[in-house]
Amino acid sequence: MTPAPIAVALDAPDLETAAQWAALVTPHVSTVKVGLELYLRYGPDVIASVKGASGVQVFLDLKLHDIPNTVAGAARAVARLRPAILTVHAAGGPAMIRAAVESAPHTEIAAVTILTSLTEADLDRIGLAGPADAAVRRLAALSVEAGATALVCSPHEVSAVRAEVGEGIRLITPGVRPTGAATQDQARVATPEQALADGADLLVIGRPITGSPDPGAAAAAIAASLRRSV
Ligand X SMILES: O=c1ccn([C@@H]2O[C@H](COP(=O)(O)O)[C@@H](O)[C@H]2O)c(=O)[nH]1
Per annotation, catalytic residue among 66, 122, 124, 214:
66
**Shortest Å distance, C-beta 112 to ligand X:** 5
**Shortest Å distance, C-beta 40 to ligand X:** 12
Residue 201 a catalytic site member? no
Q: Of all helices (H) and strands (E), which one includes residue 57?
A: strand 57-64
How far apart are alpha carbons 195 and 168 in whole angstroms? 17
Per annotation, catalytic residue among 14, 51, 63, 124:
63
CA separation, residue 160 to residues 150, 211, 228 (Å): 15, 31, 25
**Shortest Å distance, C-beta 104 to ligand X:** 18
CA separation, residue 27 to residues 2, 59, 60, 217 (Å): 9, 17, 20, 10
Is 184 in a helix, a strand, or coil? coil
Please give the residue whose beta carbon sits closest to ligand X in the complex: 206
CA separation, residue 52 to residues 11, 29, 57, 111, 181 (Å): 17, 14, 11, 27, 29
How far apart are alpha carbons 15 and 117 in whole angstroms? 25
Residue 66 a catalytic site member? yes
**Shortest Å distance, C-beta 61 to ligand X:** 6
Binding-site positions for substrate read: 11, 33, 61-70, 116, 177, 186, 206-207
Per annotation, catalytic residue among 51, 61, 133, 198:
61
CA atoms within 13 A on the CB side of 41: 13
Which one, 69 or 124, has the nearer CB to ligand X? 124
Which one, 96 or 203, has the nearer CB to ligand X? 203
Where do contacts with ligand X occur on this chain (CB under 6 A)? 9, 11, 35, 61, 112, 115-116, 152, 174-175, 184, 186, 204-207
Which one, 11 or 164, has the nearer CB to ligand X? 11
Which one, 112 or 195, has the nearer CB to ligand X? 112
Residue 214 a catalytic site member? no
How far apart are alpha carbons 73 and 104 in whole angstroms? 10
Is 12 in a helix, a strand, or coil? coil
Active site residues: 61, 63, 66
